[in-house]
Copies of this chain bind each other. A is one copy, B any other.
Amino acid sequence: MAEPIFERVAIIGVGLIGSSIAHAARRGRLAAEIVATDASASVRARASDLGLFDAVLETSAEAVAEADLVVVCTPVGVCGAVAAEVGPKLKVGAVLTDVGSVKGAVVRDMGPHVPAHAAFIPGHPIAGTEDSGPDAGFAELFDGRWAILTPLSPADEADVAKLRGFWEGMGANVDTMSVEHHDLVFAIVSHVPHLIAYNIVGTAADLEDVTQSEVIKYSASGFRDFTRIAASDPTMWRDIFLNNRDAVLEILGRFVEDLTALQRAIRWAEGDKLFELFTRTRAIRRGIIEQGQDTAAPDFGRRAAPETKG
C-alpha cells in the first residue's frame, strides 16, 4: 500500500465539507492521522461521537500543531480570524488550504497571517448538498466532481502537487485557475443561482393572494427545485455574498438586463424571442449530462425515490 500523502491532517470546522473530507480521506488512506476542531462545543461533541477523527481538539491552535495539512472548512467570513489564530502555530513545511466558495476575500483575509515557512494554497471543491453539520458528510461527496486550486506562488509547485494528489485521492478531478477568474466563474455557476433561488422563495412566501400552503402543495410544477438550494446553510451563504460582492453584482446586473429583455418580449408577445432562448438553453443541459455532472434521469431521477402521498 502507498504511503499516506500527508502524515497529519487537521480539519477546522466540521460541517458537510469537513466531515466529508474525513470520510473520503479515510476511504483513500490519504492521511496517517486526521484531527479536527470546531468553534461550536456541540459540534465538537458530535464529531467525537461520530468517531470520524483521531482527536477532536478544543481550539484551532491545538488542532494545527504538528499538522502537515490544515484544511479550513469554516464559513468564509471567519477564515481571517482562523488564520490569525493558526498562522503562528503552523509547522515548517505545512500546507494550509481552505474550501471556501470565494477566493479573493479568503486570500485577502488569510494571506497576511501565513508565515513564510508554510504554503498557503486556496482551494474550492465543487460539491455539496443542501444539508449541513457533522452528520451530513459522506465519503462519495467528491467522486467525479471538480476541486479547484488557486495557487498564489510558483514556488509552491511541489505542495500544489501533493494537495492535488489529496483531492484526487478523495475522488475529485483537479483544476487550477487564478483567484480573480475563480470568483467570476462561481458568481455565475453558483452564487447568483443561489441568490435568485433564495429570492423566488422569498417572493412566494410574501404574496398576499397565494397562500404558503398553495405554494407548497403545487411546488412540483417547478418551484420545489429552487427550494432545495434555498435550504442551504444561511451563514455560509451570507458570507459568500458579502465576500464576492463585485463579481456577484456584475453577474446580477447582466441577469437582470437579460430578464428585462424577456419581460419585454412577454409584454409585446414576441414569441420568437422566447422560443429562441428556450431552444438554446437545452444545449447546455446536454453538455452537463454528457460530462457526467448531472444524472440523465428525468426529474433528477426522483421517480426512483420513495415519496409519501401528500
Taking chain A's interface residues, is the majority helix, strand, or loop, or is none over half, making it mixed? helix
Who on chain B is nearest to A306 by CB? Answer: B295
- Please determine whether A301 and B299 come into contact, CB atoms closer than 8 angstroms: no
Known: A207-B254, A220-B127, A282-B230. A193 touches B200 (CB 8 A): yes
| Contact among B288, B295, B307 with A216 in the assembled complex (CB-CB below 8 Å) | B288
Considering only residues 200-236 of chain A, those with a C-beta below 8 Å from chain B are 200-207, 209-210, 212, 214-232, 234-235
- Please determine whether B205 and A284 come into contact, CB atoms closer than 8 angstroms: yes
- Please determine whether B219 and A189 come into contact, CB atoms closer than 8 angstroms: yes
| Contact among B127, B181, B210 with A184 in the assembled complex (CB-CB below 8 Å) | B210
Chain A 115-147 against B: per-residue CB contact (8 Å), 1 yes, 0 no?
000000000001111110000101010011110
Chain B nearest CB, measured from A255 CB (Å): 5
Known: A218-B189, A248-B266. A292 touches B275 (CB 8 A): no
Considering only residues 103-125 of chain A, those with a C-beta below 8 Å from chain B are none
- Please determine whether A252 and B242 come into contact, CB atoms closer than 8 angstroms: no
A101 located at the interface, meaning its Cβ lies under 8 Å from any Cβ of chain B in the complex: yes
List chain B residues, Cβ under 8 A from A223: 188-190, 193
Considering only residues 174-191 of chain A, those with a C-beta below 8 Å from chain B are 175, 181, 184-186, 188-191
List chain B residues, Cβ under 8 A from A280: 202, 205
List chain B residues, Cβ under 8 A from A215: 185, 188-189, 284
Chain A 284-306 against B: per-residue CB contact (8 Å), 1 yes, 0 no?
11111001111101111111110
